[in-house]
Structure 1
């Protein structure tokens, strides 16, 4: 960042305000109903440009975790400013050498402290779902014993199951890009895999075309939790949990 004092007391505050408003005006892949809120969703966050080529990777999941400090999947200007202060303090303390890697390392270590226990991994999965849905509400279908979906829950027809839209699943796939997900599975196969898991769990009959673009929230939550649990285990194996 390069401010000799706090970002809030430097000319950088005007830059941040401008970037925040510019990114907020970006409509790319963000639900229309979200545009009136005073903050940024995932695809708007990606539009932010750091000052003077500051080495910031906004697709890095640890960085996003740090940036979205209250973990609601939505970044306010106050959160952006707090993150800028964090970056500025790190740059003043450690200098520019390997700053990009140091920034990621600091964010990852802070994230690690939050995901080392199973209960906190549930909270992490909740955050990822908030992040990828970008303000789009879940849709509830009633899944009956006869595997008939309905848009509204009917206690006589089946259990209510909350679903995420295809767009949110594709955003999750995009979020996993730094982990080389594309070398293992393509987007359509990823969607198919989650839906097949849902069918095994009796949450989604694949014969119902009405559900072709939907995946149960429970399935996505479980997948994300297993992913972050694997990351936590890797930290333990590398001795990074001390």
Structure 2
């Protein structure tokens, strides 16, 4: 069954202008990373708290992926919050969301690494460190499974899995979650291989091949079995562990 719909990633609110990320407070934030003391005892803590409060939407005070990607680091810090290994490091307990405590701990990690590695080309060095840390986890099957579990939680962004009468024992993820996975796959050059709708159709076809769903069921048009997404997520290991 052909579906001609096109999809776009969920809209995100724009970041504050650079002038809003100035170095206020005692001592300023211009040299926020690489300071000798603790981030928790510096002006950066208040900055991080304000950023967290600006983007948080959950009553549980959790940041999900699209809120995480709205965070704006201080002016002297450049982070890629679409890089899976960096996100893995940020989400300490790997539950698919980030608390303020996890954000603060990640800032302490970045501060320590910047003191050790220096400011020159720090973003690339930090990414490499995060990849090394992730590789230590995913180099065996147990780690691959934990990584795939986390990716499913990350792209769901707090959304509950659904079941349907057509496949009552199969949990499904929404098409929006699948599009979030597609966005995370862009560094793997997925755009040059398949478009968004084609990616959704492909995962649904895999689901039908696995006898998890029927493509003839209208109620499943925008849904994909969680098991299929989990299996696909394990393929990210070979993409990001390099």
* Superposition TM-score tier, normalisation by shorter sequence: 0.7 to 0.9
Q: Matched residue pairs, number? A: 210
Provide the secondary structure at the position in 1 that maps to 2:80: coil
- Comparing both structures, which one devotes a greater share of its residues to helix? 1
Equivalent residue, structure 2, for 1:137: 160
1:195 aligned onto 2:204: yes
Which consecutive unaligned segments of at least 5 residues does structure 1 have? 26-34, 143-148, 154-159, 236-242
State the match for 1:170 in structure 2. 179
Structure 1 CA distance for aligned equivalents of residues 239 and 51 of structure 2: 32
What does residue range 36-185 of structure 1 map to in structure 2 within 5 Å?
36-142=59-165, 149=166, 153=168, 160-185=169-194
Structure 1 residue 2 displacement after superposition: 3.6
Equivalents in 1 of 2:109, 2:139: separation in Å? 23
Residue-by-residue CA offset, 1:47-88 (whole Å, 9 max, x unaligned): 000012402110011100000010000000010000000001
- Partner SS state of residue 163, structure 2: strand
**How far is the alpha carbon of 1:114 from its aligned partner?**
0.7
Q: Structure 2: how far apart are the matches of 1:212 and 1:161?
A: 15
Higher relative contact order (CA 8 A, sep 6+): 2
Cα distance in 2 between the residues matched to 1:227 and 1:19? 30
CA displacement, residues 127-147 of structure 1 (integer Å, 9 cap, x when unaligned): 0000000000000225xxxxx
In 2, are the aligned partners of 1:74 and 1:134 still within 8 Å (CA)? yes
Alignment check: 8 A CA contact 1:59 1:178 kept: no
SS at match of 1:51: coil
- In 2, Cα distance between equivalents of 1:95 and 1:71: 28
Give, in whole Å, the separation in 1 of the partners of 2:134 and 2:111. 19
